[in-house]
Amino acid sequence: MRQPLVAGNWKMNGSRASIRELLDGVKAGMGEVKTAEVAVCSPHIFLCDVQQQLDGSAVAWGGQDISVHESGAYTGETAGSMLAEFGCKYVIIGHSERRTYHGETDQVVAEKFVAARKAGLVPILCIGETLEERESGITEEVVGRQIDAVIAHCGVEMLGEGVIAYEPVWAIGTGKTASPEQAQEVHAFIRGRIAAASATVAEGLRILYGGSMNPGNAAQLLAQSDIDGGLIGGASLKAADFLAIATAANA
């Protein structure tokens, strides 16, 4: 059985004070979370605080991006070893906001996947189609290409050491959620695509859904057979909402 993962992506939000309060709230409610693993992905500047607050708790943490390089003249970037030094377990890679605003290609994302693994981090690989792509009927082509790029570069076994997050771009921050059926259909496609390379890896791999997931729609999404958790944006900034999503995964 795949243990569900409910991971928050705070994006570029919060302050030292607001994050302290948020994490106090999350830690206080963790007793109700019976099944899911819970993690938060913080802006890198706050990782020292996050580590201090979460060390020894049941909540894991991670970064939101990683450099393809190990060190050197790459102003503004964060190396995998640096994320690891602050106790990160996870790192989000290839988020649609990075692909869109920072021009990250499938190749760069695949290189970041390797950089994360070299640093001992678990990459959360984000994939997903835009509204235009969905309306043109090429959703499977797009997510298939995004997956294939990582398999081609890293091999399917390394892909299996990460987590996938299917985040339809049209559902991110829009309040429009994919229906459970729509999401399940793509999740099943993704698992099938990976199964073509390795049935064992496909069976064990966690595929999260992301895009306007909230306490009202989480249970139905998480009940789908190929949805193994969520990557939560807006709702992860409120402890009560984030915990409600995590408890919706209770078996």
The question of whether 37 is a catalytic residue gets the answer no
Catalytic position from the list 95, 97, 104, 111: 95
The question of whether 185 is a catalytic residue gets the answer no
Q: How far apart are CA 144 and CA 44, in angstroms?
A: 30
Interface with ligand 13P includes 167 (CB under 6 A)?
A: yes
Candidate segments 26-34, 150-158, 192-200, 226-234, binder of ligand 13P by CB under 6 A = 226-234
- Within 100-159, which residues bind ligand 13P (CB under 6 A)? none
Catalytic position from the list 104, 129, 133, 167: 167
Interface with ligand 13P includes 172 (CB under 6 A)?
A: yes
Binding mask 76-105 for ligand 13P (x = CB under 6 A): -------------------x----------
CB of 36 to ligand 13P, least distance (A): 16
H, E, C per residue of the chain:
CCCCEEEEECCCCCCHHHHHHHHHHHHHHHHHCCCCEEEEECCHHHHHHHHHHHCCCCEEEEECCCCCCCCCCCCCCCCHHHHHHCCCCEEEECCHHHHHHCCCCHHHHHHHHHHHHHCCCEEEEEECCCHHHHHCCCHHHHHHHHHHHHHHHHCHHHHCCCEEEECCHHHCCCCCCCCHHHHHHHHHHHHHHHHCCCHHHHHHCCEEEECCCCCCCHHHHHCCCCCCEEEECHHHHCHHHHHHHHHHCCC
Binding mask 185-224 for ligand 13P (x = CB under 6 A): -------------------------xxxx-----------
Q: What is the total count of residues that contact ligand 13P (CB under 6 A)? A: 14
Please say which residue, 156 or 172, places its beta carbon nearer to ligand 13P: 172
Catalytic residue list: 95, 167
- For ligand 13P, the binding residues (CB under 6 A) are 9, 95, 167, 172-173, 210-213, 231-235
